[in-house]
Chains A and B, each alone.
Chain A
Amino acid sequence: MTGATATIGSGAVLGLQIRAMAVRSVIRLLRQPQAIVPSLVFPLFLLAVNVGGLDSATELPGFPTDSYLTFALAFTFIQSAIFSTMNAGQGLAQDIENGFFDRLVLTPMRPSALMVGQLIGLVMLGVLQAILYLAVGLAFGADFAAGPAGVVVLFALVVVISLGFGGIGLIMALRTGSGEAVQGMFPLMFVLLFFSSMALPRDLIETDWFRTVTDINPVSYLIEALRSLMVTGWDPEVLLLGFGIAIALALATISISARLLSGRMDR
């Protein structure tokens, strides 16, 4: 009985801790427009540029849709996930750099609360971005072949992808403890995006080495899963592959960051 009470109490305390950290993470993000605005605006700018510049690609034989906007919309979600990598990592790195993390270690706060709280804030931002991108895309005439149920699946996939990329940011922050080092990851993440099937379907990429890179780049499959909901409708194989990669990425990065976090708290 006492044990059960203690267990319930412990769970409730953990819940409170997570909530406190999540609220802190969200408030901190909202107080840093310089961190949020680029992650909202930049993907839309690139989308607009690509749609204006590459619309003629839809006339190529084998292009899956006659609307380049519908085709390109998916990559905005991935690009915002890449920004969330930076936001998550930057937040934790700041906590380490300014001593907040060390002070936290002296309190009964559990490491998992800090990490989950950080990730919840990140997911909330990811969903907010997804709503904006989808609304802008639909307002400008993009199709959504999978219908309303597909929107739910899209958001579910966005959440898992945000967790996966957020985990990468946490790993960088915990390994380096430096916001500058986390920012230094940004170009590398951008390479993953540009060397994927973001601009053209893989089967239309003519350059052999580039197609090979896109084949082995997991970001291609994440984009294609999101894109399939807009262009094709329901494609179980593409969706399962996308979800599988996103879940594997999230599990791997979060478990690595949890281990790194425990190690850093034990120091």
Chain B
Amino acid sequence: MTGGTESGPLRYLSSASGVAWRYLHNLYTRPSMFIPSLVFPLFFLAAFAGGLSVVGDAPNFDYYDFTAFQFCFILLQASTLAGVFAGFSIAGDFEMGMGRRLMLATRRRSSIVLGYGIGAAARLGVTWTIVTGVALAGGMEVAGGGLNLAGIYGLALLSNVAALLFSAGIALRFRSLQAGPLMQLPVFIILFLAPVYVPQELLTGWIEPIASVNPITALLSAARSLMAGEPTGVFGAYLVVFGLIALMGFWAIRGLRQAEAAG
């Protein structure tokens, strides 16, 4: 009896790591799954940092390096979309019946979501290495120190967790890949309603008030300030992203309960 209680957390972690391993195995043995998630950030990095570099010369655009400016957005975007892609896998697994088998195999089903979360975070290593490598090869200057960089990647990791929990909530409610656009579009829209091309002060028109209340703006501005070695609003950004995780965690757990109720 005592032994059972002691092994509870271990069993929980064992279930989660099993789900994570299966997710990563499926991901890296199917190029059609992982190649798009690698190519898209590089494509955006090339299109934005390469094609729009002259925008860095616009009056009052005072950031030190346009590639670094865009890199912060691309890093957050890639990390967030990696969370969404994990949501696709949850939906696909439930559609094919695998999700139901996973639910039968474990008593504490939140370990399933944790497993996908671990998998989604683990895949970031490859994405970050490639995106960072390409940006550096493209001439990106890094002004911030090691701690600043850790701060940037920390924000990216936490945004990945928030996006995973959001898309898991959708996937567990619909249990079908048909819900893919419901996971991807809101994330894509909220990312692009942040100051993508220019600093927040240079935004004009309708997007300016929206960007000022968009939580991604706080993350992006903090990441850019860390990259420049002049941290501003970092504590606030971490507060925002932890708030998002709490909110989306609740959303995902409610989705899990719905999936359990549906059998």
Binding site for B on A (CB under 8 A): 45-46, 48-57, 59-60, 187, 191, 194-195, 199-200, 204-207, 209-210, 214
Contact = CB atoms under 8 A, between A and B. Distances in A.
Contacts of A49: 192-193, 196, 207
B50 A53 contact: no
Interface stretch (B19-27, B58-66, B112-120, B218-226): B58-66
Interface stretch (B40-48, B77-85, B129-137, B146-154): B40-48
Given A55-B205, A59-B59, A200 B196 contact: no
20 contacts: A45-B189, A48-B206, A51-B205, A52-B205, A53-B198, A54-B197, A54-B198, A56-B60, A57-B54, A57-B55, A57-B58, A59-B59, A60-B54, A60-B58, A194-B44, A194-B47, A195-B46, A195-B51, A200-B52, A205-B54
A52 B44 CA distance: 18
Contacts of A187: 36, 39-40, 43
B60 A60 contact: no
A220 to B, nearest CB: 11
B204 interface: yes
A105 to B, nearest CB: 31
Q: Tell me if B's interface is mostly helix, strand, loop or mixed.
A: helix
A57 B208 CA distance: 16
Contacts of B36: 187
B239 interface: no
Given A194-B43, A199-B52, A56 B205 contact: no
B54 A206 contact: yes
A55 B55 CA distance: 10
Nearest to B52: A199
Nearest to B204: A55
A141 to B, nearest CB: 10
Nearest to A53: B197
Contact of A52 (B55, B60, B208): B208
A48 B60 CA distance: 22
B54 A56 contact: no
A54 B55 contact: yes
Q: Tell me if A's interface is mostly helix, strand, loop or mixed.
A: helix
A205 B56 CA distance: 11
Nearest to A46: B192
Nearest to A49: B192
A56 B61 contact: yes
A57 B59 CA distance: 9
A70 to B, nearest CB: 14
B250 to A, nearest CB: 29
Most chain B beta-carbon neighbours within 10 Å: one of A50, A57, A194: A57
B187 interface: no
Contact of B207 (A53, A205, A210): A53
Given A49-B193, A53-B196, A194-B43, A59 B58 contact: yes
Interface pairs A-B: 4 shortest CB-CB: A52-B207, A53-B197, A210-B50, A194-B47
A168 B47 CA distance: 23
B203 A194 contact: no
B247 interface: no
B202 interface: yes
A52 B51 CA distance: 18
A207 B50 CA distance: 6
B59 A52 contact: no
A75 to B, nearest CB: 13
Contacts of B54: 57, 60, 200, 204-206
